[in-house]
Amino acid sequence: MVQVQTRDQMHALGKHVAAQLMPGDLIVLVGDLGAGKTTFVQGLGVGLGVTDPITSPTFVIARAHQASILPLVHVDAYRLGSNVELDDLDLGADLETSVTVVEWGQGKVEQLAENRLVITILRSDSDDETRQVSFTGVGKRWGSSQLIELNPTW
């Protein structure tokens, strides 16, 4: 678990994680409203070489971003009520060549990939910006020896 105290640190953590990603990686972001999921994705995008702005895709559901290092598909599954609706997005078409990040995807996207990284962001009980971020790897790609290498200097 990593403690993140500011928005800038959340952004930096996303950038740090991006350096360890490969085409086909699926990341599922878990956290309440305002936890910092989109801020994390913005940092991830910078690390992948995305130059266009990254905003929450709440109303458009999914956005594809071209990048100099790896393309990024950013999905917000909050409004999706079922796997059928998710299938309509045809995420599988980009899954093998891009990094796909799904906010609110827990319980909705597991069928997309055997290997995925689940990142949970919990807000502190106080009024500060402190977050607790944990990483759970699923599948061979993210087995215990392959989990994100965390560095306190990120």
What are the pLDDT digits (tens) for 1-57? 889 999 999 999 999 999 999 999 999 999 998 899 999 999 999 999 999 999 876
Q: Tens digit of pLDDT for each residue in 68-103?
A: 899 999 988 876 655 544 455 555 556 688 899 999
Give the Cα separation of 42 and 12 in Å (integer).
9
Shortest CA distance to 41 belongs to which of 56, 26, 24, 22? 56
Overall average pLDDT of the 91-119 stretch: 82
Q: Report if residue 93 sits inside a domain.
A: yes
CB 49 within 8 A of CB 71: no
Q: Residues in the chain, how many?
A: 154
Using pLDDT thresholds of 50, 70 and 90, give the confidence band for residue 59.
low
Q: Which residue has the higher pLDDT, 97 or 134?
A: 134
Give the Cα separation of 77 and 92 in Å (integer).
15
Q: Domains in the chain: how many in total? A: 1
Helices (H), 25-81: 37-48
For residue 88, the enclosing domain spans 2-132
pLDDT at 84: 42
pLDDT at 114: 87
Q: Report if residue 13 sits inside a domain.
A: yes
pLDDT at 94: 63
Q: Report if residue 144 sits inside a domain.
A: no
- The pTM (predicted TM-score) of the whole model is 0.85
Q: Report if residue 140 sits inside a domain.
A: no
CB 124 within 8 A of CB 132: yes
Q: Report if residue 124 sits inside a domain.
A: yes
Q: Report if residue 143 sits inside a domain.
A: no
DSSP H/E element including 123: strand 116-123
Using pLDDT thresholds of 50, 70 and 90, give the confidence band for residue 58.
low
CB 131 within 8 A of CB 4: yes
Shortest CA distance to 133 belongs to which of 24, 44, 21? 44
Give the Cα separation of 85 and 68 in Å (integer).
30
3-class DSSP assignment, residue 50: strand
Q: Report if residue 141 sits inside a domain.
A: no
143 has pLDDT over 80:
no
| CATH number for the domain that contains residue 13 | 3.40.50.300
Using pLDDT thresholds of 50, 70 and 90, give the confidence band for residue 67.
confident
Using pLDDT thresholds of 50, 70 and 90, give the confidence band for residue 104.
confident
pLDDT at 109: 79
Q: Report if residue 119 sits inside a domain.
A: yes
